[in-house]
Chains A and B, each alone.
Chain A
Amino acid sequence: MTVTAGLDLGSLSTKAAIVREGQLISFAVLPTGRGGAPVAERALEEALARAGLERSEVRSIVATGYGRISVPFAHRRVTEITCHARGVYHLWPDTATVIDIGGQDSKVIRLGPGGKVMDFVMNEKCAAGTGRFLEVMARALEVDIEEMGELSLKARRGAAISNTCTVFAESEVVSLLAEGRPVEEIIRGLHEAVAERVASMAERVGWQEPVAMTGGVAKNLGVVRSLEERLATSLRLPEEPQIMGALGAALLAAET
């Protein structure tokens, strides 16, 4: 019975996934905080406890995410691009495109036969089109980030947000509030701005259907709807979009 683990150290959350005989058996998601090995260690222990397993039963560990280098006990490090592709391929082998919006990065990956990465693009330096962008806006609007999706679905139209720069968009949001625009419409406008940004990345890799979406932002139905409208396609959503990188890492660990 082979047990392997995947650890995904993102900027906002750290995820662990445990795989046995090619199937996900448990996972854990913790806030990254100051990050590094201690958080990864805790996430791993938590996921193992849920599965009723001991650390000694884990045959191999793969670390991914921007903090992948800071896990000394990982046997291998693989980029989040390959891991997300692998995780999605496991769920839906015929997926052609993966859109992943995480805390600090967003990426669009084009998959080929066997789940092989054919091409990818990631957002450039700034935070536009990432979870971080939404986080900053939630704070400016004084709403809970988890509520954003639902709130935006109540709006009949979105407020136009012309700035993609997070700092400028934040002051734009403040002015919209001062003008008395309903919060729902502003949030919808923000989601549309994120969708626009990500859709242009998708164009750049030559996206094709079917498309799956991963990463924490996939939990925000508002962004999902805006993106679906923008691309005129429906998105496949994993039950736990946040752990797809960790799942892919655990699956890759089983292959070594």
Chain B
Amino acid sequence: MHISEGVLSPPVLLAGAGLAVLGTATGLKKMDYESIPRVAILSSAFFVASLIHVPVGPSSVHLVLNGLLGLLLGWAAIPAILVALFLQALLFQFGGLTVLGVNTVIMALPALMSYYLCRPLVRRKGVVALVGAFTAGASAVLLGALLVGVALVTTGQAFLKAAQLVVLAHIPIMIIEGLVTVFIFVFLQKVKPEVLKGIYA
């Protein structure tokens, strides 16, 4: 879900960059010293997730992990995502430097949503927590896809058609992403519960 360079108009690029700067500043302000290693590791995980492509059918899929980042990091997910996207643009020409802001917003806004909406669920016990984790993973991908649709409307593509295509294309990945988020959540709860400390705090 990286928008290529040269697709969007300057006002959209500027708006995206502005939002990304604001979000990053807020994220950095809210981040305390102890959480930096966690942010660094999840930032790397986000960076790698979209590089590893698993062939499924005639195509290939990869993880996004923005829901998980939002769940675990809250506002600090924004600088984490920005850094990862910056390096993807620099090393692999995924997206690009001028669209960096827009792409950050596309990935980070869903992360914030999963922070505010799904974290309360994940705090509870039992199935509710698992449902919360699944929702965080799946809905973050969905919202990201919708945001791509919104960004593309400004290029003159009809929103419904663009959004339909983007959402349809992401249904399989939403399911996978939801399951993987549950997986990682359960795994962390068993093996490294201190990583989840932020959630319960």
Q: Do A and B come from one complex?
A: no
| Chain A positions near chain B (C-beta within 8 angstroms) | none
